[in-house]
């Protein structure tokens, strides 16, 4: 009998503890990203593998790029704010398809890639002020004879899984009855390969990313960026929503970099100068849209 009573008490205690677990988890979550960093001593940066210029792998498979450099500034600011002499930086590769889930579930603390800040995405995640603005256009082989959306009739068109590109193409074509065969690449490098191999006749994406892919191609002159702009979009860093303390830190760092001129210097480092691993120059001068983003920081989205 005593053993039975003790067992019952232990079971009751266990049930009580189990009932507290959701509350404990909720409190941990409510502490936000900065509290998570403070407790773990680490931050996880999400990175892309082939967003050339923004977030990609160098010859040693280390993530580098414009977005990565901005995130490193944010890590330094977190160290200062949390009074931590060191924060371990972990890296998690993400794709267009899994980047939002990995931020939402806490695997990634901030995504340092090439993500468009869309109002519909703000239902799930939060964004920094825009770090880049660009136009969505098409990449084709230079000899393909494609110069506008209408020239895609009957052609195969690739977009990267998880991007908004094909929807934008359909929106631009509304009422014209364009018939194309849609293909999907698992990442931007895969999508480019479909055009390079002739399986797709066009690849729709942000023109700056297309420029990076062409610059890094074996024969850059074989490709061209063509057609009307499907939309002007904005790229931002992405992190968990409902975390005002972390957003305030990110916004302050990005805003200060823009105000001081550091952001423009960083831009020139990655988009108008030779960059690793091959010394390729994307040669994409600062456009009027991005100049406006630097002068008037905004994370409102489109």
Q: Which CATH number fits the domain that encloses residue 197?
A: 3.40.190.10
Do 256 and 206 sit in the same domain of this protein? no
Compare 287 and 18 and report the one with higher pLDDT: 287
DSSP 108-139: -SEEEEEEE--TTGGGTEEEPSPSEEEEEEEE
Q: Strand ranges (DSSP E) for 153-292? A: 156-160, 181-185, 202-206, 223-226, 232-240, 274-275, 280-281
Last residue of a domain, one of 187, 205, 232: 232
Do 207 and 58 sit in the same domain of this protein? no
Q: Respond yes or no on whether the N-terminal peptide bond of residue 203 is cis (omega within 30° of 0).
A: no
Last residue of a domain, one of 232, 252, 267: 232
pLDDT tens digit string along 218-276? 999 999 999 999 999 999 999 999 999 999 999 999 999 999 999 999 999 999 999 99
Do 141 and 215 sit in the same domain of this protein? yes
Do 222 and 251 sit in the same domain of this protein? no
Q: Is residue 5 part of a domain?
A: no
What span, in angstroms and rounded, lies between the C-alpha atoms of 104 and 238? 10
- Given the DSSP bridges, would you call strands 132-141 and 50-51 parallel, antiparallel or unpaired? unpaired
**Domain containing 180: what range?**
135-232
Q: Is residue 120 part of a domain?
A: yes
Note the pTM of the prediction, 2 decimals: 0.80
Do 101 and 209 sit in the same domain of this protein? no
User: What's the pLDDT score for residue 30?
Assistant: 60
- Given the DSSP bridges, would you call strands 88-93 and 42-47 parallel, antiparallel or unpaired? parallel
Angle at 92 between CA 87 and CA 96, to 5 degrees: 135
Tally the domains of the chain. 2
**In the predicted structure, residue 5 carries a pLDDT above the cut 70:** no
Do 143 and 222 sit in the same domain of this protein? yes
Q: Is residue 11 part of a domain?
A: no
Q: Strand ranges (DSSP E) for 167-258? A: 181-185, 202-206, 223-226, 232-240
Last residue of a domain, one of 183, 204, 232: 232
Do 153 and 213 sit in the same domain of this protein? yes
Do 251 and 213 sit in the same domain of this protein? no
pLDDT tens digit string along 13-67? 344 334 333 433 443 456 899 999 999 999 999 999 989 999 999 999 999 999 9
What span, in angstroms and rounded, lies between the C-alpha atoms of 158 and 192? 8
User: What's the pLDDT score for residue 225?
Assistant: 97
Do 226 and 78 sit in the same domain of this protein? no
**In the predicted structure, residue 146 carries a pLDDT above the cut 60:** yes
Do 99 and 127 sit in the same domain of this protein? yes
Q: Is residue 148 part of a domain?
A: yes
Do 150 and 93 sit in the same domain of this protein? no
Cα–Cα distance list, 101 to 98, 115, 123 (Å) = 6, 13, 12
Q: Which residue has the tokens 């895609």?
A: 152
Q: Is residue 301 part of a domain?
A: no
> Across the chain, what does the average pLDDT equal?
90
Q: Is residue 119 part of a domain?
A: yes
**In the predicted structure, residue 6 carries a pLDDT above the cut 50:** no
- Region at 283 (left for phi over 0; alpha for psi -120 to 50; beta for the rest): left
Q: Is residue 8 part of a domain?
A: no
Q: Which two tokens stand for residue 81?
A: 């704010």
Do 66 and 110 sit in the same domain of this protein? yes
Q: Is residue 263 part of a domain?
A: yes
72 Cβ neighbours under 8 A, 6+ residues apart: 89
């Amino acid at each position: 009998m005593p053993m039975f009573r003790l067992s019952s008490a232990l079971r009751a205690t266990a049930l009580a503890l189990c009932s507290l677990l959701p509350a404990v988890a909720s409190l941990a979550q409510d502490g936000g990203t900065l509290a998570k960093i403070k407790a773990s001593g680490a931050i996880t940066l999400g990175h892309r593998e082939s967003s050339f210029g923004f977030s990609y792998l160098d010859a040693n498979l280390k993530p580098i790029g414009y977005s990565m450099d901005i995130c490193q500034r944010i890590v330094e600011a977190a160290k200062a704010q949390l009074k931590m002499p060191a924060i371990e930086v972990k890296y998690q590769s993400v794709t267009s398809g899994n980047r939002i889930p990995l931020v939402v579930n806490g695997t990634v603390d901030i995504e340092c890639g090439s993500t468009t800040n869309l109002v519909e995405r703000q239902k799930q995640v939060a964004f920094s002020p825009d770090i880049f603005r660009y136009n969505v256009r098409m990449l084709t082989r230079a000899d393909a004879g494609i110069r506008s959306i209408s020239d895609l009739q009957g052609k195969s068109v690739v977009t990267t899984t998880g991007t908004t590109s094909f929807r934008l193409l359909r929106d631009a074509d509304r009422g014209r009855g364009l018939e194309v065969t849609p293909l999907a690449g698992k990442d931007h490098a895969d999508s480019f390969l479909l055009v390079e191999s002739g399986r797709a006749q066009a690849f729709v994406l942000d023109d700056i990313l297309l420029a990076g892919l062409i610059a890094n191609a074996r024969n850059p002159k074989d490709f061209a960026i063509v057609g009307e702009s499907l939309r002007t979009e904005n790229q931002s860093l992405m992190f968990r929503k409902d975390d005002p303390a972390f957003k305030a830190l990110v916004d302050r760092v990005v805003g200060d970099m823009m105000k001081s001129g550091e952001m423009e210097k960083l831009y020139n480092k990655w988009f108008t100068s030779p960059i690793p691993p091959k010394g390729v120059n994307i040669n994409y001068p600062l456009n009027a849209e991005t100049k406006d983003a630097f002068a008037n920081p905004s994370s409102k989205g489109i």
